[in-house]
Structure 1
Amino acid sequence: MENSILLIFLWLLCGAESDEMTVLPGDIYTDLPLPTPKIIRDYAKSPVTDCMVECSAVNVSHVTLSWYKGNSLQSNVSVSDHIRKIFLHLEVEYHDKNTYSCVINNTISKQTQHLNISQICGPCVVIKQSAMPVKEGDDVTLHPDLEEIDQLFWLFQGKLIAELNNKDIQLYNNERFNGRLKLDIETGNLTITNTKKPHNGYYELQINSVPSKCWVFNVTVHAHLPVPVINRDSSQCSSSSERSSESRCSLVCSVLNVSHVTLSWYKGISVLSSISVCDLSISLSLPLEVEYQDNNTYSCVLNNTISNQTTHLDISRLCLEPDGQSQQPVMISGWVVAAVLIVLLVIACVKIWQYKREIRMEASREA
């Protein structure tokens, strides 16, 4: 009898605990009010031409999350147990005129959030636009100067490369960047290390807001500048002599395979002439004429927005005397002097011989 009473007591105790464990969690989350779904743009999954949006809710259980196009159900997902976050994606076109809504519901209530395509998927409001020149091989950091950081997305040429979501960093290092991206969790600044030519282009920071806000940075990676080379312009020497410009020296300053640069001739600190090239990688040359005896200081300068290379002109080396004329006058004058000396020497010898001959003749007569 006592054993039967003990067994009944244990059964009642275990059954009560079992009911309490299975019912209580459901009661806690089911009794809570349903949160309003949140709709954001998902840049990680957005195609180039369309817009991918995400509808989500947090800390829910025994609910269904659904996308509707008008009154027509497009997709849904349900959960029975408690889940920290439930989400559902929808792909729409930028110019879609249909009405979309995201609905979360359980057996007793529901909450609805309507999708505003023009605000979520439309062009972002540009807060800041900056040009960021950098020398090839150096690091560059893009500073948006954000006041608050919750969720942000960095894009390069329209493709997602980094995102920050509630202190969770995700970097998409493709072959172009190959481990060169660094995202600061405190400031949202993006750094590209050891920059190369393929890193040229537009970087865009976007923040999910209504309307969407963005910061645009145009990064230009400049190659190391070559040193300009100054040479005598032999092609101009003949034409100069034909124009009887024998007192002037023709020069040319040149560089090979450059882009986004300016090549200039300076006289002291004054610009005499210049030529620029933007996108193409080509060779540049710039002529200059100077007097052979010019005592001014000339220099050829190659520069871009972040650096320059300078070569100074040595007139005494390159423009000592006109081509084809420098040695001939000297040689002719030397032969003339030599010839005159020889003639004078011959005349002197003849005079001395005549003088001595006369002395001998006078001596022979006296004898």
Structure 2
Amino acid sequence: MSMWSFILLLISVQCVFGTSSDADETLSVMEDDSVTLHADVSAIKREDQILWRFGPENSRIAEIYKQNMPTYDINERFVDRLEMSIQTGSLTIKNIGIQHSGLYKVTIISNGGTSEKRFRVIVCARLPIPNITRDSSQCSSSSYCSLLCSVVNVSAVTLSWYKGNSLLSSISVSDLSISLSLPLEVEYQENNIYSCVINNPITNQTTHLNITQLCQPCADTTRCGSAEAVIRLVVSVVVGVATVAVLVDHFRSVSDTSPLVP
């Protein structure tokens, strides 16, 4: 496993549990959204310096010094994504991505001394819409309809079946880029409301089951087998009759060409 894959796996686990002991504040945010980290400064004074750093390397990413305009580090990871308030020193990360997950530190240097605050930002990927299909491999002449609810390329999620507001079954995963499927059996023509839900700690996606559309009774396999047997019998009879006709015609031809015995 590469280092980046390992980091993403840690992020996925955090997306499930959502806490961190190395930060004063933990924030979870959806991919492509914006998040603001508050420096807890009511107003920046002229002599103040506010410095934002990111990651285990403590890379400097934004700074305000003596009420000047903010300066931003030329970092490809954050290009055109950072916005620092000149009034409060708070930092906004726009169009955030998975690669922006991590530890952020703000250092405030003023005449009153130096203070620091740490933020753990956890970015969760957006969820796909669950897809409900009929499991045709389980089709039989029984009174039940077999269904599958599936999602692809997901991590740190839970996939669940609900009957009304009651949870029927669920499956969770924290691995990377995995596909999930959860089966369900329902009776034909029943009127209960079923839904398949995928969720993480931030959001969810729901697909409601249309029983009438997906669950049509299976074809009668006995009748299909009988019809197939009849067709085979008819074909055999036709072939047999044709064979007899050919043989009769052949013997007649042989008889007509044979020499007469005096």
Question: Amino acid of the residue matched to residue 52 of structure 2?
Answer: W
* CA deviation after TM superposition for structure 1 residue 192, in Å: 1.1
Q: Which residue of 1 aligns with 2:28?
A: 133
Distance in 2, matches of 1:268 and 1:167, equals 57
Q: Which residue of 1 aligns with 2:5?
A: none
Q: Within 5 Å, which residues of 2 pair with 1:301-340?
A: 301-322=197-218, 324-325=219-220, 328=223
Scaled by the length of structure 2, the TM-score of the pair is 0.66
1:25-64 deviations in Å (ceiling 9; x for gaps): xxxxxxxxxxxxxxxxxxxxxxxxxxxxxxxxxxxxxxxx
Distance in 2, matches of 1:291 and 1:127, equals 51
| Match among 85, 100, 112 for residue 184 of structure 1 | 85
* CA deviation after TM superposition for structure 1 residue 208, in Å: 4.4
1:59-113 deviations in Å (ceiling 9; x for gaps): xxxxxxxxxxxxxxxxxxxxxxxxxxxxxxxxxxxxxxxxxxxxxxxxxxxxxxx
Q: Which residue of 1 aligns with 2:63?
A: 163
Q: Which residue of 2 aligns with 1:79?
A: none
Q: Which residue of 2 aligns with 1:39?
A: none
Which ranges in structure 2 are unaligned for 5 or more consecutive residues?
A: 1-20, 228-262
Question: Amino acid of the residue matched to residue 39 of structure 2?
Answer: P
* CA deviation after TM superposition for structure 1 residue 127, in Å: 11
* CA deviation after TM superposition for structure 1 residue 191, in Å: 0.8
Q: Within 5 Å, which residues of 2 pair with 1:70-81?
A: none
* CA deviation after TM superposition for structure 1 residue 236, in Å: 3.8
Distance in 1, matches of 2:138 and 2:59, equals 53
* CA deviation after TM superposition for structure 1 residue 326, in Å: 7.5
Q: Which runs of 4+ in 1 moved over 4 A?
A: 208-212
Distance 1:173 1:166, change over 3 A: same
* CA deviation after TM superposition for structure 1 residue 141, in Å: 1.2
Q: Which residue of 1 aligns with 2:116?
A: 214
> Percent of pairs identical after alignment?
54
* CA deviation after TM superposition for structure 1 residue 292, in Å: 1.8
Give the CA RMSD over aligned residues: 3.0
Distance in 2, matches of 1:282 and 1:128, equals 30
Scaled by the length of structure 1, the TM-score of the pair is 0.48
1:249-299 deviations in Å (ceiling 9; x for gaps): 211100111123221111111111122223522111111111223221001
Which has the larger displacement, 199-208 or 168-177?
199-208
* 2:187 maps to 1:286: no
Tell me, what secondary structure is at the counterpart of 2:213? helix
- How many residues end up aligned between the 2 structures? 199
Tell me, what secondary structure is at the counterpart of 2:25? strand
Question: Amino acid of the residue matched to residue 303 of structure 1?
Answer: N
Q: Higher RCO, 1 or 2 (CA under 8 Å, sep at least 6)?
A: 2
Q: Which residue of 2 aligns with 1:205?
A: 106
Which has the larger displacement, 132-141 or 283-292?
132-141
Q: Within 5 Å, which residues of 2 pair with 1:41-60?
A: none
* CA deviation after TM superposition for structure 1 residue 142, in Å: 1.1
* Conserved? CA contact 1:232–1:252, under 8 Å: yes
* Conserved? CA contact 2:161–2:169, under 8 Å: yes
Distance 1:237 1:211, change over 3 A: farther
* Conserved? CA contact 2:106–2:116, under 8 Å: yes
Tell me, what secondary structure is at the counterpart of 2:24? strand
Which ranges in structure 1 are unaligned for 5 or more consecutive residues?
A: 1-125, 239-244, 333-367
Question: Amino acid of the residue matched to residue 189 of structure 2?
Answer: Q
* Conserved? CA contact 1:173–1:180, under 8 Å: no
Distance 1:233 1:301, change over 3 A: same
* 2:164 maps to 1:264: no
Bigger CA radius of gyration: 1
* Conserved? CA contact 1:173–1:181, under 8 Å: no
* CA deviation after TM superposition for structure 1 residue 211, in Å: 9.0
Distance in 1, matches of 2:222 and 2:96, equals 54
Tell me, what secondary structure is at the counterpart of 1:206? strand
Tell me, what secondary structure is at the counterpart of 1:198? helix
Q: Which residue of 1 aligns with 2:40?
A: 145
Distance 1:145 1:301, change over 3 A: same
